[in-house]
Amino acid sequence: MAATRYRRFLKLCEEWPVEETKRQRDLGAFLRQRVAQAFREGENTQITDPETCDRMYESLVRIHTNYYKNKYPRLKDTSFTGVTVEDCKMILATDVMKQMEDMKKGTWRKLRERFYAKKPEEDSK
């Protein structure tokens, strides 16, 4: 039975898309990593709690297939702020978030990073 569960999770991982714009924060990549950890021995992995494993799988399938989005359709594809899904995806992209983080840095810190060849932490050593 563990082999069947393993194959189901592998199939789900294959179907789950990876968003390149969310490097190191992508749910698909995280899912692949967790499945690899949970099934270290592949089909020979012994599952200690099969019911929990099955519930996790079913929950992930519901997320992947947009079960609740289809069950409870929205009238508009925007939030209360008026931001569209495409705008949210763009804002949450890793590159944009890094740019926003850089904008938060103070002037002194920006200058220090530009003109020092080594990082400030290395100065204290």
* Per-residue pLDDT, 84: 79
Domain chopping of the chain, boundaries: 1-73, 75-119
List the end-to-end C-alpha distance of the chain, in Å, as a whole number. 55
List, for residues 51-92, the tens digit of each pLDDT value: 999 999 999 999 999 999 999 988 877 777 777 777 777 777
* Per-residue pLDDT, 24: 75
Q: At what angle do helices 2-15 and 50-64 cross, to 10 degrees?
A: 20
**3-state secondary structure string across 69-115:** HHHCCCCCCECCCCCEHHHHHHHCCHHHHHHHHHHHCCHHHHHHHHH
* Per-residue pLDDT, 96: 67
Give me Rg for the CA atoms of the chain. 21
